[in-house]
Amino acid sequence: MRNSNKIWTDDQLPKVIEQCSITIQSDPDFIEAYLDLSLALKLQGRLDESAEVIQSALLRHSEIGQLHTRLSDLQCMLGDFYQATIHARQGIDLDPLDYEPHYILGCALCYLGKCEESAGYLQKAVHMEPDNVNARTMLGIVLCRIRQWRESIEHLTYAQDRDPNNRNTQEWLKFAHTQIKRGK
């Protein structure tokens, strides 16, 4: 998300939440306040409340892709992958050049078992942000699931080279190499 690079300490979060809540009450069209409040709640582990904030903002501004994308991210974190796909698609429709909804949609589709479709969105995400280790790892995993071993190895190797301590990447990379050795 565009504002998820904000850095607040844990002890600052209650004040951020309070200030954003006041701002929203006085200016309910100030989208950044909703996004900041949602992020602060998310950082506190209050995912349901964070999602409610974004849903409230969407009632006023359904035309803003970043809101749909934030909600889809939260829905993925809450395990509601079907709803996440709906809002990620809306995020893409409203902002087709934004990496994040493509990545989230790819992840949600994977969790729903729609790996072929997932691979397409993750490939778009990697195309948009070729150095993104998370997108490369997830694409590598999805490609393993649809038995595209060599392409999977390419993405997983790239991710491992940049994050050599990621055990998930290591395990999937080993699995893909094993499948090639077995001739699968």
Of 2-6, 51-55, 92-96, which range is least confident? 2-6
Report the pLDDT value the prediction gives residue 38, as an integer from 0 to 100.
96
CA angle 174, 141, 107 (to 5 degrees): 160
Sign, Cα dihedral of 33, 96, 75, 167: negative
Q: How far apart are CA 15 and CA 28, in angstroms?
A: 19
Whether residue 183 is predicted with pLDDT greater than 50 in this model: the reply is yes
- 73-118 per-position pLDDT tens digit: 999 999 999 999 999 999 999 999 999 999 999 999 999 999 999 9
> What is the tens place of the pLDDT at every residue in 140-161?
999 999 999 999 999 999 999 9
Q: How crowded is the C-beta side of 125, counted as CA atoms within 13 Å?
A: 27
pLDDT tens sequence across 54-72:
999 999 999 999 999 999 9
* Tokens matching residue 25: 């009450």
What predicted TM-score, i.e. pTM, was given to this entire model? 0.90
Amino acid code (one letter) for 103 = Y
Q: Which residue has the tokens 């393993």?
A: 144
Angle at alpha carbon of residue 48, lines to 106 and 73, rounded to 5°: 15
pLDDT for the residue numbered 5: 55
